[in-house]
Structure 1
């Protein structure tokens, strides 16, 4: 991060592309492209329409001598500074991604992406400290403009390292795992001897971001005495910050390469470097092979439990298209609000390295001194087309309480996926009841601040909890009379959006743990994986329901019923009981021998519904988690 160094507007008077000679060569390269025109101040150049440019880029990739910006006057240096070598070209369904370097400059980036109506990108020459922006107007005409290099590579200022007190950074407080963090998702919970070169947060997703730490590894062993646990934590922190999106944060190059081959526009890469330096990333380079650079800074006090993970998330934010969140005494980098231990990820997260309960979240500039009002979540979801994960609790579910009244986080957990999302858990109290319950955010360095409320059947608020600067919610010895209740969990807020934070990016996973005395025992018949439940019967037109809890990371769950009489139809659904119209899988043949499978099941409680199309008895019901 670069501190207190405002950007300056370029005063370049030399034309970006220079003379009419280059314009002529561009026309030759583009064929049907719109004629290029030079702005009167010489700082902007139209180079033709995007559709023709895309075709020319493809031609150059096939034949490097067909460069779309290669002047026919090879002696004119001013006409050659946009000359590029293309290393990657991907065109599919009208969408293009191009990456490369400036010709003759290994220390450079060139990348374009988009379509014939909106093509955008940058050329960065690090050694010359120059950058050029490509943009498209409403008529599909592409222009090139010289811009300050810090606009394209916001964290490039190496002097920031020298001006920062690293003895503070070396003492960064590491997050503490919640005791409820029990692998409810792949990235949740302490390191458990996983291969850190093959980590994946959401296997199977078509959107992939690759943390390429090969340069700081020797095979599966980290260099420089760094532990595998700390390498795991870097991946884990990034997975936390992006867990609301259906994007697979991975350290596995095979996963990245497969996703890149399928659709490069859904991929990104950040390269670790085994030395000190200023971590940086090219703006909006997600969807190309133009990578960010993450220095591991072994002698400067950066650590893998806080610094490397948070720096990775910050730089990936730039690759997604976000600039710095500034304001207040932090200048370009907002330093957060100490009273609430909160700040924006795209600000100066180092100022919170000593906050035990710090929350650094995506932002849209709601705090008082904000000088940038980018909607970070919208940029990733709309501009970069990264989808949110599906709502895991869209219509409420039953609170899982065992026969002894215990509430376990292994079966009671969820995720707040979007701003304003709420999760509801229903429960019933018989006689006089008492609730002891704690709700924890369970991601290692997540963004969720838990807000919890309990309502009775008349929709009257009975109790609420959102512990200040603690991020958890808690109910202790809450007396409840007989009746039906619902627990509503949401992303919390503290203070005001202007002096504090809103629930805008209070997102992530949570777990519930406690006890409910006087509760109605669960009505679901709980199955044990691989163990059949025999002698089940039902009359025509009725349902029998069963349930099984599936941990994260399982490959499949197979449901089956086996009977010699009647016609039993099989349906399964996640979180709620299935119907004949709503199910994850079904089997409804003409007998009572039925099987269906859910592959790569999400973690949670699966309900098995058996419908008696005609009466059956002596039926065996089984569910097997693989």
Structure 2
């Protein structure tokens, strides 16, 4: 295996791989070079925005020349062509390239108070950065190209060995990963050209793999499962945010038309090379680049997925997490099998329980103290997902004591978030319960604690370098209990990791034996519960937890015999006279909808007007 075919290549090879014909844009004088090495003021933010608007209206114009007409030293190589222009409600996004230079990129984005951006010219390996000072004056200065495209630094090759890649241990799916969210669980013959992690979200990141596909079939011997995993890893790493990671161009184009500032794109290319992405290009059409590297010794889905998560991080505005012996790319902490995804994730390729997370530079040798989660949430205005368990819910325990991952799962969405599940033991009980992180390339380290009614800690679990929590044959006396799940930590933040980015989905599976008080049968949105039956004149109740901000919740039952009627209510169990919605026709096929539902637990009551069997019960939150 040749090192030059591993994921990244030295920067001088990059332009050769993507070389295009270069058009002359005029000579550059020594005075020009001196000028750009120092900061050149362009004028106020409004002047720049007005100049960009004028160039958008007249593509032959130059926004730079229009605002610096009196400056005889205006540099022709800074002239740009605008390909995408968005200015709405005071928010700006402009994308393009150096005038007449295909192998280049240009962006400016911001608002009427401050704009920033860059111009990159791969033909000359030069970059120019635009910024706004405290007085609202926009200026441009030449910077090292690696400041704008961090992964053009060839130190990565020095910090990574072929053995690391060849011995890579791929993640293993938890048996509890059962599509609790669209991106969770093994490939199941989905159309890999239409994958979406959060359908309907206004924030969209597009993984454009059209260049490595022939229709819906991957090229180069890559399987659909590989392509699924590449998408899945990116969806895992960004699952705490309300952003739809998609491979569907129609979804991306619709979101881009609505608000380009809420979108991003990275392009798969059918070449070997060093993957890279321009810093802070989310909110524009300036794309990152993912090279295929089929001979580099790692699985396409796993390797390309990790690389995509890293490069998308650059597009969100994050620089490398540096330190240790890895220099530009921190190599992680082997004792805890942890490292930052913006470091060198390949240095831990042989760790069986590796966790690669966002970081804020808490480890000892850190030199980059950027708060990754804040950058995405505040700087790029990407919202967190809604807390799925804000005030606790009942643990779903079947009549035989089984605790199923289908009905018992959740998500730790933010640093310090906790999810509580309550249950009651009326006699003596024995709990066997395992709690797994269920995302393929997840970040969650599960910490679980059980408290009694007095608030005293009964038991806790956070398995070292394992990421799961487990209670085995735990004896419980009669009483009320609360299971609290949180993001875990190991070691210390300086030598280990904190719960800063211990985020993601988990599920629970096990049993509670002994005499217990039946709990609510909690439905999973969109997943039917089958095989229900009851005798004439009786009730059966089911529940579903509805987060804030949902548009509707649809309740339905479906059966071919008897006469089952449907009633729903918020917080309390419904009756035939007290309900939010009902459907009580002459068959066992019923449906009703609650629009703009308040957040909380909704109960679905099925009244058996005439005995029924083989009934399906479902609730779908939209």
TM range (shorter): 0.7 to 0.9
In the alignment, is residue 286 of structure 1 matched against residue 286 of structure 2? no
Match of 1:309 in 2: 305
Distance 1:175 1:599 in 2: 41
Match of 1:271 in 2: 267
Per the normalisation by structure 2, the TM-score is 0.84
- Per the TM alignment, residue 85 of structure 1 is displaced from its structure 2 partner at its CA by 0.3
**Structure 1 pair 195–276 and aligned structure 2 pair: CA distance change class (3 A):** same
**Residues 447 and 507, structure 1, Cα contact 8 Å, conserved in 2:** yes
In the alignment, is residue 207 of structure 1 matched against residue 203 of structure 2? yes
Q: Which has the larger displacement, 591-600 or 522-531?
A: 591-600
Match of 2:446 in 1: 450
- Per the TM alignment, residue 558 of structure 1 is displaced from its structure 2 partner at its CA by 2.8
**Residues 358 and 373, structure 2, Cα contact 8 Å, conserved in 1:** yes
Distance 1:263 1:279 in 2: 27
Distance 1:439 1:265 in 2: 38
- Per the TM alignment, residue 61 of structure 1 is displaced from its structure 2 partner at its CA by 1.6
**Structure 1 pair 70–586 and aligned structure 2 pair: CA distance change class (3 A):** farther
Give 1:55's match in structure 2, choosing from 50, 56, 78: 50
In the alignment, is residue 259 of structure 1 matched against residue 255 of structure 2? yes
In the alignment, structure 1 segments of 5+ residues that lack a partner are: 6-11, 20-40, 539-543, 562-567
In the alignment, is residue 558 of structure 1 matched against residue 521 of structure 2? no
Alignment of 1:293-442 (within 5 A): 293-442=289-438
Match of 2:562 in 1: none
**Residues 3 and 333, structure 1, Cα contact 8 Å, conserved in 2:** no
- Per the TM alignment, residue 418 of structure 1 is displaced from its structure 2 partner at its CA by 0.2
**Structure 1 pair 526–44 and aligned structure 2 pair: CA distance change class (3 A):** closer
In the alignment, is residue 128 of structure 1 matched against residue 112 of structure 2? no
Alignment root-mean-square deviation, CA? 3.7
Distance 2:272 2:287 in 1: 18
**Residues 208 and 247, structure 2, Cα contact 8 Å, conserved in 1:** yes
- Per the TM alignment, residue 135 of structure 1 is displaced from its structure 2 partner at its CA by 1.0
Give 1:65's match in structure 2, choosing from 55, 60, 64: 60
**Structure 1 pair 558–488 and aligned structure 2 pair: CA distance change class (3 A):** same
- Per the TM alignment, residue 518 of structure 1 is displaced from its structure 2 partner at its CA by 1.9
Distance 2:531 2:95 in 1: 51
- Per the TM alignment, residue 253 of structure 1 is displaced from its structure 2 partner at its CA by 0.4
In the alignment, is residue 216 of structure 1 matched against residue 212 of structure 2? yes
**Residues 284 and 322, structure 1, Cα contact 8 Å, conserved in 2:** yes
**Structure 1 pair 525–360 and aligned structure 2 pair: CA distance change class (3 A):** closer
**Structure 1 pair 42–80 and aligned structure 2 pair: CA distance change class (3 A):** same
**Structure 1 pair 136–495 and aligned structure 2 pair: CA distance change class (3 A):** same
**Residues 581 and 593, structure 2, Cα contact 8 Å, conserved in 1:** no
CA-to-aligned-CA distance 1:217-261 (integer Å, 9 cap, x gap): 111111110111011000000000000000000000000000000
Match of 2:174 in 1: 178
- Per the TM alignment, residue 369 of structure 1 is displaced from its structure 2 partner at its CA by 0.5
Match of 1:237 in 2: 233
**Structure 1 pair 530–255 and aligned structure 2 pair: CA distance change class (3 A):** farther
- Per the TM alignment, residue 511 of structure 1 is displaced from its structure 2 partner at its CA by 0.5
Distance 2:305 2:34 in 1: 43
**Structure 1 pair 556–486 and aligned structure 2 pair: CA distance change class (3 A):** closer
**Structure 1 pair 525–414 and aligned structure 2 pair: CA distance change class (3 A):** closer
**Structure 1 pair 577–261 and aligned structure 2 pair: CA distance change class (3 A):** farther
**Structure 1 pair 55–596 and aligned structure 2 pair: CA distance change class (3 A):** farther
- Per the TM alignment, residue 164 of structure 1 is displaced from its structure 2 partner at its CA by 4.2
SS at structure 1 position matched to 2:361: coil
**Residues 4 and 331, structure 1, Cα contact 8 Å, conserved in 2:** no
CA-to-aligned-CA distance 1:340-365 (integer Å, 9 cap, x gap): 00000100001011100000000000
**Structure 1 pair 166–422 and aligned structure 2 pair: CA distance change class (3 A):** same
Distance 1:460 1:606 in 2: 27
Match of 1:85 in 2: 81
Distance 1:158 1:297 in 2: 16
In the alignment, structure 2 segments of 5+ residues that lack a partner are: 1-6, 12-27, 524-528, 547-551, 559-564
Distance 2:522 2:40 in 1: 69
**Residues 529 and 548, structure 1, Cα contact 8 Å, conserved in 2:** no
Distance 2:376 2:545 in 1: 33
Give 1:193's match in structure 2, choosing from 183, 189, 194: 189
CA-to-aligned-CA distance 1:190-236 (integer Å, 9 cap, x gap): 00000101000000000000000011111111111011101100000
- Per the TM alignment, residue 141 of structure 1 is displaced from its structure 2 partner at its CA by 1.6
Match of 2:4 in 1: none
Give 1:608's match in structure 2, choosing from 590, 603, 622: 603
Distance 1:318 1:89 in 2: 22
**Residues 240 and 446, structure 1, Cα contact 8 Å, conserved in 2:** yes
Per the normalisation by structure 1, the TM-score is 0.83
Aligned residue pair count: 572
